[in-house]
Structure 1
Amino acid sequence: MPDKTRPSWDEEVDLLIVGAGAGGMTAALAGTLKGLEVLLCEKTEMVGGITSTSGGTIWIPGTHLSVEAGVPDTTEAAASFLEAVVGERGGDAQRAAFLEAGPKVVELLQEKTAVNLVAAKAHPDYIGNQPGEAYGGRALAPLPFDGRRLGKSDFARVRPPRREFLALGGMMTARNEIDALLHPLASLANFRLAATTVLRYAFDRLRYSRGTRLVMGNALVAQLLYSLRQHDVPLRFETRLVELVKEGDAVAGAIMAGPDGHRRIRARRGVVLATGGIARNPRLRDQLYPEATRRYSLAPETNTGDGVETALAGGAALAEGLDSPGLWMPCSILKRKDGTELMWPHIILDRAKPGLIAVNSAGRRFVNESDSYHDFVMGMLRSPEQAPDKPAHLICDRAFLDKYILGMVFHGSRRLKPFLKAGYLIEGASPQALADKIGVDPATLEQTLADYNRDAERGEDPAFGRGTSAMNRFNGDPEQTPNPCVRPLGPGPYYALAVWPADLASSVGLQGDEDGRVLDANARPIRGLYACGNDLGSMFRGTYPGPGTTLGPAMVMAWRVVQNAAADQANSQTEKRSA
């Protein structure tokens, strides 16, 4: 008699991968190259997820690309660095596996796929003055990609970057090109770059909804999608995870909901969760995130924690003991006339520059403003005077606006009126006047500026050590001496910009082992269930060591998942032959 307790399946594959961000697409490619039958399902109509709106940097130490770039790196040095940064928070086995596999993954992608990376000669690790830290070589960047290679239909499948980062309504620019585009007449090189970039964009708009010259995270996503098409990897859009199907204690497959209804898909080697972490899941945000960080998120609206929620319902456990449940970025908010909001992540273009300080809701400095975006917000969250329902403020003088970028204020003091009118930028003739407008005590802000300026006259910041790390100095202004990150704020008027914490990725995720196997509450692997990317708890345990330390582990752990699944398949076949 047939066993009626076993579910009937609509189809079977070796690996069912849920989520087409960098982790999911890498898993699909690695699985296909390994000879597994793979099915990649994406909840939305576009690939990319959080990756597509990111800088696209991938942190993987010890690769051949670092040697080619002239800044050779070693995994041994990276291990020392991570030991100092992460400390006793755990995750040692995962990090060791990541460091061992990372160079192999990069070599595979470079040789077998259209993924094309280059090691940055100068892109320092985020935590300074640590053993084993690197100034360059570990941060890998995708080279620009011509979106026309995808064809019009697949190009439309690449999730666009944040609209705040698109010039002229649809043109992408790399970070090192911004100055040339803002000052095209400053030099012949600037003019050539600006002219060729804008002309290319103008021709693109005759056929496409946006520019096809893709950089940063968009370039990485396009390279991965192009590779999937080259290798004929099945990819289903608008197909979401409904439920994991278990046979005993093992995950045997999943119920997926797509345009044609619900389908029960058997996954002989396992289900891989790569859905972007808890992101915009309201229940998990309220449960796990600090109050001040729940208001804003940089994740796409459709990232609602499907993978984590479904795995928890199937007996999985969350990672514990993290330094932070999320990775944060300070963001300013511009409210437009139609009621919509633009959100600008303050990454490196303003906070590190001299002539700017940050104050909490009490009017006092609380952090090294030149540190990483994550550490900036951690300083904000740890400041006992910072009210969770209020922003911090970046404060600068007029000379700063004339020379640098401040959030969405790109064009210097000549075009401030729209930003002042919208309330995005706040102006005060004196520290006291500015304090009244941003809601802090005038005497406190005046004293904060006086204390900072006294030390800044000597290029020093004894309170927070600004400009004392390689990363600080790299993002500062080399023309400012002796400290590229420090100068006094001059006479008024003064300007303030409110910044709020927003999550760019979750650190808290499913508890897993060094092969991406999801663990239960007793730390036992749930057979047939894997995770990578933000669905998997951070191997850096809630710290943020360097640029791309979400994408690097996502892609490397995706590869390790496939190796484990393939080995499991080989072991199963050997057992059958021996029986």
Structure 2
Amino acid sequence: MTDWDQEADLVIIGSGAAGMSAAIVAAASGLDALVLEKTDLIGGSTAISGGVVWVPGNRGMAEAGAPDPPGAALRYLEQVIGPGMRRDMVEAYVRASPKMVDWFNRHTVVHLVPRMYAPDYHSELEGASSGGRALDPLEYDGRELGGWFTRLRAPLQQTMIFGGMMVSRADIDHLQRACRSWTSFRHAVRILLGHASDRLRFARGARLLAGNALAARLLRSAIDRGVRFETGADVTALVRDGGAVIGAEAVIGGKIVRIRARRGVVLAAGGGAANRHFRAANVPYADVHLSMAPPSNVGDGLALAAAVGGTIGATARNAVFLSPVSVDAAGGKRTLFPHLILDRQKPGVIAVNSAGRRFVNEADSYHDFVEGMYRDHGDGPAVPAWLVADSRFVRRYGLGLVRPAPFSKRGFVRSGYLVSARSIGQLADKIGVPQAQLAATIEAANRAAATGVDLEFGKGSTGYNRYLGDGLHSPNPCLGPIRMPPFHAVKIWPGDIGAARGIRTDADARVLDADGKPVRGLYACGNDMNSIMGGSYPAGGITLGPAMTFGFIAARHVAGIACSGSKEEKTA
């Protein structure tokens, strides 16, 4: 076939962590890699994520003096995932992911460092780790991207301050203590002056953190390796010859472009969480479910795979990675906020259902929290639910989109996002729950705060809970009183941060057909791949960890280097 408009050894569809990892590794192996990105911006959902990469047994743990015991991670995953676990996929991941991190740390500017205290989400289970498996990308100066900086997808606006300034948890603490601590004052001045300087040149700050730093580092590494990018490239079909995938058709600049893939195609288009039909078929309460996935993540990769014989995998528990989400409709524009780690775990907030009762451990992971909403809905109901706190809590920690002092909450009160009242009874009336029950629920929560023991749901009873509480608060970093008026509430809905159900693959990331045989020339990774976690959420970084690892595996397989087996060797 000679009517090709472009050619590459490996064609990658999608520019998130999975796609760019595959492209970088392929290019480093001597292959010509071309990334096709549907939108005008590079980075996918990675660029708006927390950026944590979960890698058990990574070298950094041993170097820090806390090596991961052999087999511990696998024992942990067996318990969390349950009987639906695909052992071949999980073992390949546990084996290959430390090699992936070593490779990127050595050969690229993607530098990942272990967070030595960051418990796995079910920290009470055998094999769980108190830290080291979660790795963070180092902070990155977006100016190092040159003209590519404006092509990098920005973080969610609602997660930044001062017109585009990224901040970490440590930054927030320093900003709040700037008038009480010389160290915090210097830190605050440094980042504020840096942001002011950036805004003279850019539409947002160039000090990049979390997922935006990871996406930027991947992009810089891809550019350095000669990876080619086509943005605004909507892939509409895969091209086959004799059952093998040999290329793709895409609409670029309004024209159909045929692109030959000499060695293979990798699907890494982000999954289908933003597709309402996907949600209707796979997600409970789909009519009110709120997805944080980029709007472009509508399942293009899944459709492309299905059209050439690929199959969609099953999930044991959930088709998406769950998170409670609140929504502000100020000015007719919907702004979504995922309640991940900044408010629910802190002392002085509870979640109540429409009966005014607590229904879940508020400090559990975002995924487990929404599962709690599901469980309670028949009795509560808890879809939607409410986060309830007092004025002291909101000043100290914020609540959803409402930022802590000195930021004002008035606009959120006016829009109806933050419901406020001078008394518990008035708040109950405003949010539509029984006055007596809400008062009794808060009274019980205050008693638990005084003793430091939550007899009802065990908030603050696990290492993971306490990690995200307030370490300066006692006797329990996750339990505090709700006493100081005005009282506040924010409505929360079940939502997600990406798809878990996707394309079925083997341990080399090759797409499988209905008979379990590989579709020649076709690979899938990231949220296009059916999650190896079986619809569970064992720890922070269990999306980006497999995304980068199976991108790494796919590219090495294309290049003739096997790394899903017990040894790395040239494939036949």
Scaled by the length of structure 1, the TM-score of the pair is 0.93
Query: Which of the numbers 417, 422, 439 marks the counterpart of 1:429?
Result: 422
1:512 is matched with 505
1:498 matched to 2:491: yes
Q: Per-residue deviation at 1:557? A: 0.4
Please name the residue that 1:366 is paired with. Answer: 359
- Paired AA for residue 468 in structure 2: N
Q: Deviations over 1:276-306 (max 9, x none)?
A: 0002122212211222475422112222221
SS at match of 1:407: coil
Question: Which residue number corresponds to residue 530 of structure 2?
Answer: 537
Q: Does the CA-based 8 Å contact 1:274-1:535 persist in structure 2?
A: yes
Contact 2:123–2:129, Cα closer than 8 Å, also in 1: no
The alignment status of 1:96 with 2:79, answered yes or no, reads no
Paired positions, count: 565
Corresponding residue for 1:106?
101
Deviation, 1:17, is 0.6
2:242 alignment partner in structure 1: 248
Query: Quick one: which amino acid aligns to residue 186 of structure 1?
Result: R
1:230 corresponds, among 216, 224, 235, to 224
The aligned residue for residue 449 of structure 1 is 442
CA distance in 1, matches of 2:400, 2:2: 54
User: Is residue 211 from structure 1 mapped to residue 205 from structure 2 by the alignment?
Assistant: yes
1:394-436 Cα shifts (integer Å, max 9, x gaps): 0112332233222232234994433222211112333332221
Which digits, 9 at most, give the CA deviation of each residue in 1:150-176, with x for residues without a partner? 11x201011000001221111111222
Q: Is the 8 A contact 2:374 2:382 kept in 1?
A: no
Please say if residues 353 and 381 of structure 2, whose CA atoms lie closer than 8 Å, have aligned partners that are also in contact: no
Amino acid at match of 1:515: D
Please state how far the C-alpha of 1:124 moved relative to its aligned partner. 1.2
- Contact conserved, 1:293 with 1:503, CA < 8 A, in 2? no
User: Following TM superposition, by how much is the alpha carbon of 1:574 offset from its aligned partner in structure 2, in angstroms?
Assistant: 9.9
Q: 1:272 aligns with which of 262, 266, 270?
A: 266
Q: How far off is 1:221 after superposition? A: 0.8
Q: Distance in 2 between matches of 1:286 and 1:415?
A: 38
Cα 1:429–1:486 change in 2 (3 A) is same
Partner of 1:178: helix, strand, or coil? Answer: helix
**3-state DSSP of counterpart to 1:104:** helix
For residue 326 of structure 1, report the CA deviation from its aligned partner: 0.5
Partner of 2:35: 40
Say whether residues 1:76 and 2:74 are aligned partners.
no
Shift of 1:353: 1.0
CA RMSD of aligned residues (A): 2.2
Contact 1:125-1:547 within 8 A present in 2 as well: yes
CA contact (8 A) 1:380 1:386 kept: no
User: Structure 1 263/48 Cα, relative in aligned 2: closer, same or farther at 3 Å?
Assistant: same
The whole-number CA distance in structure 1 between the counterparts of 2:382 and 2:457 is 25
Match of 2:333 among 317, 326, 340: 340
Q: Is the 8 A contact 1:368 1:464 kept in 2?
A: yes
Q: 1:483 to 1:422 in 2, by over 3 A?
A: same
Per-residue deviation, residues 202-226 of structure 1 (Å, max 9, x unmatched): 1111111111111111111111111
- 8 Å CA contact 1:14–1:36 kept in 2: the answer is yes
**8 Å CA contact retained: 2:413, 2:419:** yes
Q: Which of 367, 376, 388 pairs up with 1:395?
A: 388
Q: Which of 6, 22, 31 does residue 27 from structure 1 map onto?
A: 22
> Within 2, Cα distance between the matches of 1:79 and 1:514?
16
Whole-angstrom CA distance in 1 between matches of 2:379 and 2:178 = 41
**Equivalent of residue 186 in structure 2, options 183, 192, 198:** 192
Q: Amino acid of the residue matched to residue 110 of structure 2?
A: V
Pick which of 56-65 and 404-413 moved more.
404-413
> Which one-letter code corresponds to 1:191 in the other structure?
F
- Percent identity, please: 44
TM-score using structure 2 length: 0.94
Query: Per the alignment, in what secondary structure is the counterpart of residue 457 of structure 1?
Result: helix
Q: Specify every segment of 5 or more residues in structure 2 that has no aligned partner in the other structure, as ranges.
A: 563-569
Where do residues 461-480 of structure 1 align in structure 2 (5 Å cutoff)?
461-480=454-473
Contact 1:398–1:413 at 8 Å: present in 2 too?
no
Q: Does 1:404 align with 2:397?
A: yes
Q: 2:520 aligns with which of 517, 527, 532?
A: 527
Aligned partner of 2:165 in structure 1 is 171
Structure 1 pair 74–562 and aligned structure 2 pair: CA distance change class (3 A): farther
In 1: Cα distance, 2:515 partner to 2:275 partner:
25
Hey, what does 1:3 align to over in structure 2? none
